[in-house]
Chains A and B, each alone.
Chain A
Amino acid sequence: MNSTISSYDFHVRGEIPTLMAGSLVVACSRRHKDHGVFSRWHDSQADLVRIDLSPGKPGRMTATVLSVDPQGVGLRLPDAMGARMLETPNAETPFYETQPNHGINVEGGHVWATNLLFGAPLEVEIRTWQPTRVLRFLNRNEQSPQTSSTSHFAWSLDRRYAYFHQSLLETEGLKEPVKARDLSLVRLDTRTGAEKLWGITPPPTDANLETANFHSAFYFELGGTQCVGLLRTGALLESLAPHNPLRNYAEHTVLPMPRSTIWIIKLDETKQTLQAELLPGMEEFNGMALSHLDVDARGGDGFVLFANYKQADVAEETHGKNLYDEKPEDVCDHYSGMIVEPINYGSVMRYDCRGNKRSLSVFSRGYDPGQTSEGHTWLPINLCLDSAKQRVFGTFSGFRPRLLSRHIAQAYPGKVVDERRIRYVPPLLMRFDANTLEPDTDKKRRHLSYAEPIAMTVVGENGRDYVCTFSPEVGVRIYEADNLSAVVCHGVCHELWSWEDSHFRPDPAHMEFVPG
Chain B
Amino acid sequence: MRVNRLSVEGPEFVKLVREVEKKVQKLEANKWNFRTVPETFAAPDQAADVVAKELVHIFDGQTVTRIGRLIMGGVGKHFNLMGPIRSDARLNVTSSHIIDEVNHQLGSEGLLDLPQYRSLNRQPQKVEFFNYGIFYTLRDLVFWLLLHDTGCFPSTLEHMTRKFAEGYVVQNDMYTPARPSNDIKAPALMAGSCLMMQFPSKVMEWMDKPLFGGLARETIHVETLLTIKPARISHPHLPLTAESKVEIGHQAYYLRRFAGVSPKDALRGPDVTGESAAD
Contact = CB atoms under 8 A, between A and B. Distances in A.
Given A332-B217, A372-B33, A450-B159, A400 B267 contact: yes
Contact of A486 (B33, B165, B236, B239): B165
A332 B35 CA distance: 32
B31 A443 contact: yes
A369 B201 CA distance: 35
Contacts of B30: 373
Contact of A402 (B202, B234, B267): B267
A451 B162 contact: yes
B109 interface: no
A3 interface: no
Contacts of B236: 473, 497-498, 503
A373 B237 contact: no
Nearest to A14: B167
Nearest to A371: B33
B268 interface: yes
B119 to A, nearest CB: 14
Contacts of B266: 423-424, 426
A333 interface: yes
B114 interface: no
Contacts of B41: 370
Contacts of B33: 370-374
A437 interface: no
Given A370-B35, A486-B165, A487-B166, A501 B234 contact: yes
Nearest to A33: B239
B149 interface: no
Interface string A484-508: 1111001011110111110100000
A424 B268 contact: yes
A452 interface: yes
Interface in B192-250: 201-206, 212, 217-218, 232-240
A11 B205 contact: yes
Given A490-B166, A494-B204, A423 B232 contact: no
A486 B38 CA distance: 26
Nearest to A13: B167
A290 to B, nearest CB: 28
Interface string A410-433: 000000000111111110000000
Contacts of A420: 269, 271-272
Contact of A332 (B31, B165, B263, B269): B263
Interface size class of A (residues with CB under 8 A): 35 or more
Interface in B23-61: 30-35, 38, 41
A374 B270 CA distance: 27
Interface string A119-133: 000000000000000
A469 to B, nearest CB: 10
Contacts of B89: none
A285 interface: no
A368 interface: yes
B271 to A, nearest CB: 8
Contacts of B153: 369
Contacts, number: 142
B155 interface: yes
Interface string A466-480: 000000010001000
B12 interface: no
B261 interface: yes
A153 B155 CA distance: 35
Contacts of A401: 267-269, 272
Nearest to A404: B269
Nearest to A449: B162
B32 A373 contact: yes
A485 B165 contact: yes
A445 interface: yes
A2 B24 CA distance: 58
A444 B162 CA distance: 14
B93 to A, nearest CB: 26
Given A370-B33, A402-B268, A487-B167, A492 B279 contact: no
Given A424-B155, A450-B158, A485-B161, 20 more contacts: A33-B237, A332-B261, A333-B267, A369-B155, A369-B275, A369-B279, A370-B154, A372-B32, A373-B30, A400-B267, A402-B267, A419-B272, A420-B269, A426-B159, A426-B266, A450-B155, A450-B161, A473-B236, A490-B166, A501-B240
19 contacts: A11-B202, A368-B35, A369-B34, A369-B155, A370-B279, A372-B34, A373-B32, A419-B272, A420-B269, A421-B279, A441-B31, A445-B31, A449-B165, A487-B165, A487-B167, A492-B203, A497-B206, A497-B236, A498-B235
List the 6 closest pairs (A to B, CB-CB), nearest first.
A450-B158, A370-B35, A373-B31, A333-B263, A369-B275, A369-B154
